[in-house]
Chains A and B, each alone.
Chain A
Amino acid sequence: MNRLTRIPVLARARNFASHSGSPLSSPNTVGPYQVFDRYAKRLQKDRSARRDDGEKSRTTDYVRDEVADRMMDRLLDIKRKFNTILDLGSGPGHLSKLLDAEITKKVVMLDSSEKLLHREPDSEFEVDVERIHADEERLLDVVAPNSQEAILSCLSLHWINDLPGVLVQIKEALQPDGVFIGAMFGGDTLFELRTSLQLAQLEREGGISPHVSPMTDTRDVSNLLGRAGFALLTVDVDEVRVAYPSMFELMEDLRDMGENNTIVGRRNFVHRDTLAAASAIYKALHGNEDGSVPATFQIIWMIGWKPAPNQPKPLERGSGKTNLKDVL
């Protein structure tokens, strides 16, 4: 009975619902793809690079350095020598620093945070560096279509609002048979922090407000790459787990990484009671035996190639001649 009466109510509510594609009229009603406040993110990143003259930002490089290292492994699998590589959302150049003359002649770093982009001097890099200060979401404004041999993105796509749109722009910017390799935080990233804060808010305040970004699911990424028109897709997941003395060090390090909360309509303030409660819950629910607490960073890897006529293609479905049963 309950179910039946709910339907007309919903139908009526739909008539009054505003069109989701409407332009920005107030901070809390936004377009379909506005999840993150990109302006606030830029300020946070700039501030993180300035704190203690960049020292804070350098000591918290450990996650990005590790992932950049793993990305190099994937890049080295490609037996090709590049003239230029575009490092999209490069930050201070965790990945660009690892590139050498065997791989490319030049690297172009692009980031929306000017301070972070210029944190390291040119002498830190082995290859020629060009730095472009631009919004990652408007890639085609600064990069010509069909111009790039390779685009890499190491841990920046998780702050992109319009991920499908940016993937299309990346594909457009690539030359035919150009490659895109991306790594982004997603899936279960920081689930310990998310659940602890939610439980603490619920028990102390009686409601929740988001403090950890919504994450892209692994399954969605292959669909998005396919939809953007990439060929020969590879998507996989791996994890970096870091142990911290307590939740407070984790939150401080996240801030120094420039990874604070930037969800549109977020609450900028966490009550002290809630913080203390969350720290206690974090330890009780997720704590390690040695008294430290773990934080999981899940990384979604994506590799896609811009289609070209001379590129190897998968055979037609059903055209196989060998029965797999005979082989196995």
Chain B
Amino acid sequence: MNATTTNGSTPLRRFAVHATTTCATHAEAYGKCILATYTDVRKDACKEEFAKFGACLREAVSCDY
């Protein structure tokens, strides 16, 4: 309801911005992978997609400081 993620005032909010905006393409790729396998999900089923997503997040978070 309230667009709080736009003002990144807490670490979690900054993280939220990165997870939904900065790394949106990687998030979408990961989401699509889960969507394709969600009837039979096991650990690391989308490992590769998440590795890229995670790398993007770490990169974005480190740029905050």
Contact = CB atoms under 8 A, between A and B. Distances in A.
A272 B15 contact: yes
A203 B45 contact: yes
A244 interface: yes
Interface string A275-304: 111011101110000000000000000000
Interface stretch (A91-99, A118-126, A160-168, A247-255): A247-255
B34 A285 contact: yes
A205 interface: yes
Interface residues of B, number: 29
B20 A246 contact: yes
Contacts of B57: 272, 276
Given A277-B30, A281-B38, 11 more contacts: A206-B44, A242-B1, A245-B20, A249-B2, A252-B4, A272-B15, A276-B57, A280-B28, A281-B30, A284-B34, A285-B35
Nearest to A63: B1
Nearest to B3: A245
Contact of A244 (B1, B28, B45, B53): B1
A248 B54 CA distance: 17
B53 A249 contact: no
A267 B29 CA distance: 28
A203 B43 contact: yes
Q: Is the interface of B mostly helix, strand, loop or mixed?
A: helix
A275 B2 contact: no
Contacts of A276: 15, 19, 27, 53-54, 57
B37 to A, nearest CB: 9
A2 interface: no
Nearest to A244: B1
Interface of A: 59-60, 62, 199, 202-206, 242, 244-246, 248-249, 252-253, 272-273, 275-277, 279-281, 283-285
21 contacts: A59-B1, A59-B2, A199-B38, A202-B41, A203-B34, A203-B44, A248-B5, A248-B16, A249-B2, A253-B1, A277-B50, A277-B53, A279-B19, A279-B27, A280-B30, A280-B53, A283-B27, A283-B28, A284-B28, A284-B34, A285-B34
A280 B27 contact: yes
Nearest to A56: B2
B50 A273 contact: yes
Contact of B43 (A202, A242, A248): A202
B10 to A, nearest CB: 10
